[in-house]
Amino acid sequence: MFTLNKGINYVTMKWYMENLKEKIDIRDVNIANYNTTELENVIKDIISNISIGNIAVTEKYVVVEGRKRIYAINAFIDGKIKFSNKYYTELSKKEFDIFNNYELGIFVG
């Protein structure tokens, strides 16, 4: 069992995938309207080690801020979008390590 503390939690993307990805609840009616380029730019920022800002969730892991960013991350991991014409599973070792070690800020309110 894992828990996130109230306030800001910094977790690696690998930790997010293993512990939180399947529990996160995006609840966004606009998901169908998300622009692929905008989603890919989130991944580009992560691979470039640029902050994408904190993701805010409730204690039940409902996303209240950062829905598009979390959706982009999940879509990339699930093979729905690409970065630099590559899916997550096709990243170079260097890109894979950068992505998996990226620190994601999760704010629990």
Q: Which residues pair with 55 in a beta bridge?
A: 106
Q: How far is Cα 46 from Cα 56, in angstroms, rounded to an integer? A: 18
pTM of the model: 0.93
* Continuous segment of H or E residues that includes residue 37: helix 36-47
CB 43 within 8 A of CB 92: no
Instruction: Give me the pLDDT at residue 28, please.
Output: 81
Q: What is the pLDDT of residue 27?
A: 87
In this prediction, the residues of the chain whose per-residue pLDDT falls under 50 are none
Closest to 17 measured CA to CA, from 46, 37, 40, 45:
46
What pLDDT is attached to residue 1?
Answer: 53
* Predicted local distance difference test score (pLDDT) of residue 30: 81
Distance from chain centroid for Cα 36: 15
